[in-house]
């Protein structure tokens, strides 16, 4: 097993900066997810670990060894891609064994590893089939098996679930998580899907526009997003953002928006100055209640999406579209006039210009690490 360290790593394609000064340490045995929208640089980062892209600047280390100039085959990594890339004319057994044969692994050792991987992935009964005789999910399991038999120090996975249908994706997600718990091999997993990132990652590195925005456990990213980008990217449906005005100072400071007039929570007092800011509130934290009190947003239900146990309501509140997730027992109908209570302990505030979080925790972390959070 091994750590993977990006030390001020850059990747440029001519004028295009694909990865901008990436600093990230993936711990030994950790399951790290790189997540972000299309084009943010996550695949390029993974391919640099694999040795499939040259590094323009900086050092990449696997364990203590700088691997910038080490060829892929000498890096002790195994990669799983979105496309399974199985050999169509070979059986599952031969697909699993092929890489080991190339490396001149002894025959009985190959047999042991193939048997073990097939057992882990429930491929035992499929070993004599060809890829065309397998379902998509089974093919992806063979691709995973081919990586496992290598017994590498690091697994690299690039959107391995994107060719699977929704049900299989959930199943295979659990399979990969189970495998990691069993093998405890350092894993770097790339996806654009924040649900996959939240459910699988021990830590998540969120990227946008070639830059790392924030690294943390799923819960720390959900509770304390460092900027508006991370706040909007992590969580589904996305966080609501509303312009607010801060008036007064210290304990007397308050937060005002359409229909909302509440004291400024203590966690923001040190960083927030009078003026404009952006308030963030997650849809699942809004509560439906009787109209009236000052801590509520008022508006009309616009569209109601019934999901069985809950419903997702789009509300036009003043000039803003707000999404709330509430218990479906409310049976909200389009056109209903609603009051949505904003719990003060759940709000986020962001600088109107830089997009940076104004929460005390985020400010303190930035001060102790000496690293300025990325403005968005
Ligand atoms: P996706 O999820 O769409 O694969 P990504 O986050 O993995 O996106 P990358 O594939 O890492 O993004 O690409 C990062 C940036 O680098 C993009 O702007 C892309 O257009 C650019 N890029 C990638 N490969 C090349 C290349 N060979 N030549 C020029 N630009 C490239």
Give the residue extent of every domain in the chain: 4-223, 238-360
| Contact predicate 100/107, CB 8 Å | no
Residue nearest atom 11 in ligand 1 by C-alpha distance: 41
Which of 6, 13, 45 has the most ligand 1 atoms within 8 A of CB, as the residue to mutate?
13
| Contact predicate 345/269, CB 8 Å | no
Residue 41 tokens read as 């640089």
Per-residue pLDDT, 290: 61
Q: Which residues line ligand 1 (CB under 6 A)?
A: 13, 16, 18, 36, 38-44, 192
Residue 27 tokens read as 């711990």
- Cα separation, 147 vs 149, in Å, equals 6
CATH code linked to domain 4-223: 3.40.50.300
Per-residue pLDDT, 311: 94
Rg (CA), the chain: 24
DSSP-based three-state secondary structure for 248: coil
Residue nearest atom 22 in ligand 1 by C-alpha distance: 18
Q: How far apart are the first and last CA of the chain?
A: 36
DSSP-based three-state secondary structure for 15: coil
Residue nearest atom 3 in ligand 1 by C-alpha distance: 38
| Contact predicate 102/149, CB 8 Å | no
Length of the chain in terms of residues written: 376
DSSP-based three-state secondary structure for 351: strand
Residue 46 tokens read as 């993974």
- φ/ψ of residue 29, rounded to 5: 80, 5
Per-residue pLDDT, 95: 95
Residue 48 host element (H or E):
helix 42-50
Residue nearest atom 26 in ligand 1 by C-alpha distance: 13
Global confidence as pTM = 0.91
CATH code linked to domain 238-360: 2.40.50.140
- Cα separation, 363 vs 360, in Å, equals 5
Which of 44, 157, 158, 193 has the most ligand 1 atoms within 8 A of CB, as the residue to mutate?
44
Each residue's pLDDT expressed in tens, for the chain with a length of 376 residues: 699 999 999 999 999 999 999 999 999 999 999 999 999 999 999 999 999 999 999 999 999 999 999 999 899 999 988 877 889 999 999 999 999 999 899 999 999 999 989 988 889 999 999 999 998 888 988 998 999 999 899 999 999 888 788 888 888 888 889 889 988 999 999 999 999 999 999 999 999 999 999 999 999 999 999 999 999 999 999 999 999 999 988 888 999 987 788 889 888 888 888 889 999 999 999 998 765 566 788 899 999 999 999 999 999 988 889 999 999 998 999 999 999 999 989 999 999 999 999 987 776 766 666 555 666 6
Residue 351 tokens read as 């600088």
- Cα separation, 24 vs 38, in Å, equals 20
């Amino acid at each position: 097993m091994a750590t993977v360290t990006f030390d001020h790593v850059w990747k440029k394609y001519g004028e295009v900066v694909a990865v901008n000064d990436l600093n990230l340490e993936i711990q030994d045995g950790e399951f790290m997810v790189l997540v972000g929208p299309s084009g943010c640089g996550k695949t390029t980062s993974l391919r640099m670990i694999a040795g499939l892209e040259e590094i323009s600047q900086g050092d990449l280390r696997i364990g203590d060894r700088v691997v910038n100039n080490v060829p892929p085959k000498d890096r002790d990594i195994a990669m799983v891609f979105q496309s399974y890339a199985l050999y169509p004319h070979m059986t599952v057994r031969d697909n699993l064994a092929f890489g080991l044969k190339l490396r001149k692994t002894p025959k009985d050792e190959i047999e042991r590893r193939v048997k073990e991987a097939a057992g882990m992935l429930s491929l035992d009964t499929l070993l004599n089939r060809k890829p065309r005789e397998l379902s998509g999910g089974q093919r992806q399991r063979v691709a995973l098996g081919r990586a496992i038999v290598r017994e590498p120090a690091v697994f690299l996975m690039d959107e391995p679930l994107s060719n699977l249908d929704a049900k299989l994706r959930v199943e295979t997600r659990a399979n990969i998580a189970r495998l990691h718990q069993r093998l405890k091999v350092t894993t770097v997993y790339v996806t654009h899907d924040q649900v996959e990132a939240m459910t699988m990652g021990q830590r998540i590195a969120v990227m946008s526009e070639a830059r790392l925005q924030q690294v943390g456990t799923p819960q720390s990213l959900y509770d304390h997003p460092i900027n508006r980008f991370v706040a909007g990217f992590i969580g589904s449906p996305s966080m609501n953002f509303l312009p607010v005005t801060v008036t007064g100072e210290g304990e007397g400071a308050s937060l005002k928006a359409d229909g909302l007039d509440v004291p400024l929570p203590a966690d923001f007092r040190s960083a927030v100055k009078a003026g404009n800011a952006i308030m963030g509130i997650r849809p699942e934290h809004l509560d439906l209640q009787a109209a009236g009190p000052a801590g509520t947003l008022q508006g009309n239900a616009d569209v109601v999406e019934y999901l069985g146990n809950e419903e997702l309501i789009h509300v036009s509140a003043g000039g803003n579209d707000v999404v709330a997730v509430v218990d479906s027992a409310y049976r909200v109908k389009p056109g209903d006039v609603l009051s949505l209570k904003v719990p003060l302990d759940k709000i986020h505030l962001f600088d109107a210009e830089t997009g940076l979080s104004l929460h005390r925790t985020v400010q303190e972390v930035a001060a102790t690490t000496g690293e300025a959070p990325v403005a968005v």
